[in-house]
Amino acid sequence: MENKDYLELRKEFGSPIFVYEEEKLRHAATEMLSFKAPFGLKIRFAMKANSNRTILRLFDSMGIHIDASSDFEVQRAILAGIDTSKILLTSQEIPNDIKKTVDTGIEYNATSLHQLEEYGKAFHGGDISIRINPGEMGIDSSSHDKTKVNGEDAGFGIQHASLIDAKGIISKYNLKVIRLHTHIGSGSDPEAWAEAAKVSSSFLKEFPETKILNLGGGFKVGRMPGEKNANIAEISERVSKMLEDFHAETGRKIFLELEPGTFLTANAGTILATIQDVTIDVNKILKLDCGMSEIIRPALYGAEHHLTVIPATERQEEYEEAIVIGHACEHADVLTAGKARKMLRAQIGDILLIGGAGSYCSSMATKNYCSFPEAAEVMIDLNGKARLIRKRQTMQQMIQNEL
């Protein structure tokens, strides 16, 4: 897209808005669907990354299934038109009525001994998936402590040390474990994926009936220049070899599932914001009409996103260092990690594009704080045409459920 395209988008849809590009979404999905798996592959979109129904439907049309992280995401996917047979629920919070939820036709993945027990009570003799936390055996590729998903101090999945208790529950209710699920965090290192697959294969040996291995997601995406992306082709080679070796050793053909979220959507989305104010003291500070109400990752993780100034008027290009802050009354609402960043000299009224905003931005947006309404979302289709896929909330809509 050219500068004039972003200026036209702002003119038509306002600011701030999320802008998604269908071509990039399809490209990432096609790359993930090419993952080599010798005995079958299923890709599930981790919809917590971006739950807009237009995006869910796009991936569904390409044969991608759904990884839901709550009973409410299950309901949202169903309302988006996703067939329940394509949804796997892996949730920290057990549904209020687990039988009602599973009876819709979804698959359920137990992430604790309590969940496994409740499932057994409701579905004696049924099929079940279990998520295993490898504990001291595990690898976690997360780049930040707050995104850690493995280890003895992480509460995701049934700890490897508790598998004997899990087997007791499985036997008690005559359950059949059809799928094992693990997750290594957000990794780009093929060696880490190979090791995670190897550890996961050791769990398969403890469940001889299991035919599906779900390695989760967490494929690293570089949002900033110079950041490393996960090499899907190389990772798939390593994982495929593990599955082939496991087959040679045991005779078992294991079907592979993966659950990417960030990889499919992150760099297909941009936030279009407007520079509303500029202050110059010790540092030049650019103030936006968006912030942690649209993108909380910098405040939550210290994450950085690529920033691009789009001039609203024609002028000579000059570069300078500036700090960019959001519109919330919070010291943490800073998009430049607390330090100045070199960018095109900006003026009030210019556009600032925040890149890598297609995942964990709109879906993680803060609600009600400072009463900022949820931003609109726009999709650029394959013909370059923009259409609204989520309206900006009005204040009346925000308070309509208050009593």
Q: How many other C-beta atoms are found inside a 10 Å radius of the C-beta of residue 364?
A: 16
The confidence score (pLDDT) of residue 155 equals 61
Indicate whether 51 belongs to any domain.
yes
- Final residue in a domain of this structure, among 240, 260, 280: 260
Name the helix (H) or strand (E) containing 376.
strand 376-380
Check residue 148 and give its pLDDT. Answer: 42
- What is the predicted pLDDT for the residue at 150? 46
Domain membership flag for residue 398: no
Number of structural domains in the chain? 2
Triad 340, 357, 390: Cα angle to 5°: 135
Distance of CA 331 to the CA centre of its chain: 26
The DSSP H or E segment spanning 115 is helix 113-122
What pLDDT score was predicted for residue 151?
46
Domain end position, chosen among 237, 260, 283 = 260
Domain membership of residue 115 (yes or no) is yes
The pair of three-digit structure tokens given for residue 234, joined into one six-digit string = 């190389």
pLDDT value at residue 157: 92
If asked whether residues 179 and 305 sit together in one domain, one would say no
Tell me if 403 is assigned to some domain.
no
Among 225, 260, 295, identify where a domain stops. 260
Within this chain, do residues 148 and 220 fall inside the same structural domain, yes or no? yes
**For position 280, which CATH number holds?**
2.40.37.10
Whether residue 402 is contained in a domain is answered as no
**300 & 388 share domain:** yes
What residue type is assigned to position 357 of the chain?
A: A
User: What distance in Å separates the CA atoms of residue 86 and residue 67, rounded to the nearest whole number?
Assistant: 9
- Residue with tokens 């900033």, as numbered in its chain: 224
Task: Give the pLDDT score at 186.
Answer: 53
323 phi, psi to nearest 5 deg: -100, 140
- Separation between Cα atoms, residue 23 and residue 59, nearest integer Å: 12
Which pLDDT belongs to residue 149? Answer: 44
> What is the structure's pLDDT at 272?
98
Give whole-number Cα distances, 383 to 21, 25, 230, in Å: 10, 14, 29
Strand partners, 110: 130
Residues 68, 180: one domain? Answer: yes
- E-assigned strands of 246-364? 255-258, 269-280, 284-288, 307-310, 319-325, 341-344, 351-354
Which residues in the chain come in under a pLDDT of 70?
Answer: 135-155, 185-188
The CATH number linked to 76 is: 3.20.20.10
> Taking the model in full, what pTM does it have?
0.93
Phi first, then psi: what are they for 380, rounded to 5°?
A: -95, 115
Whether residues 33 and 8 share a domain: the answer is no
Structure-token pair, residue 107: 């698959």
Do 132 and 279 reside in the same domain of the chain?
no
CB 269 within 8 A of CB 262: no
Q: Which residues constitute the domain of residue 277? A: 3-16+267-393
